[in-house]
Structure 1
């Protein structure tokens, strides 16, 4: 099983990040956290490390209604929340890659039917967001 849902878009990196936020919002996800990996690498490891990773941001996306249901079903599932969405592009790339954690990975760790149902719902929403992002880029 792969653990990400992936699309590539023919957009500049900054625009891809903005449109990813918009596509996630349209599916009920807010962004709780944002980690700029490139900036962190540059500050902690130097310019060479930052150039190696390229433009790379991790968005911590959360759909509050789904998170509430998941936490009610299995409080430990909070260790897997929020859903991480990566927007990345190395310096030589022509396309920007957007990847979301596949919520089915939660199902591999939990036997609760409620968690499976929530993962199915979250997966449908994330797939729709990625598909919509691809359409926005056309």
Structure 2
């Protein structure tokens, strides 16, 4: 699968708080967080589902992978989404390994796997 997603009974606000704390422990910062519902409503479109997108980055990791190939910048920053569906809250991301595989540069495989596992750990701790 191209993504990693977990389901929890926690509220979106609790997940967002927990996620930011967990990411910080792994030296990832939230560069930007927005609710797609709010953005669509600002544009005059009715959309009633809260759907948060967090753009997260570890600057040390970003510098390292960008030093290998500038094309990895197409995938940065990493995105984590938080939304409600069918009475549960879902937290997920596109797997960095899936994105890196598009480049076909095996020099990045182990770093992508390491970053992916660290982000999965952050997500899993929110359950």
Under a length normalisation based on structure 2, what TM-score does the superposition of the two structures give? 0.91
Instruction: Specify every segment of 5 or more residues in structure 2 that has no aligned partner in the other structure, as ranges.
Output: none
Cα deviation digits, residues 22-80 of structure 1 (max 9, x gap) = 1222222111122210101111133xx321xx111100011112111110000111111
RMSD: 1.4
- State the match for 2:37 in structure 1: 38
* Kept in 2: contact 1:27–1:128 (CA 8 A): no
Shift of 1:11: 1.0
Shift of 1:107: 2.6
Instruction: Specify every segment of 5 or more residues in structure 1 that has no aligned partner in the other structure, as ranges.
Output: none
Aligned residues: 127
Under a length normalisation based on structure 1, what TM-score does the superposition of the two structures give? 0.84
Cα deviation digits, residues 83-109 of structure 1 (max 9, x gap) = 10001114xx32210001200122322
CA distance in 2, matches of 1:32, 1:114: 26
CA distance in 1, matches of 2:13, 2:105: 39
CA distance in 1, matches of 2:25, 2:7: 19
SS at match of 2:90: strand
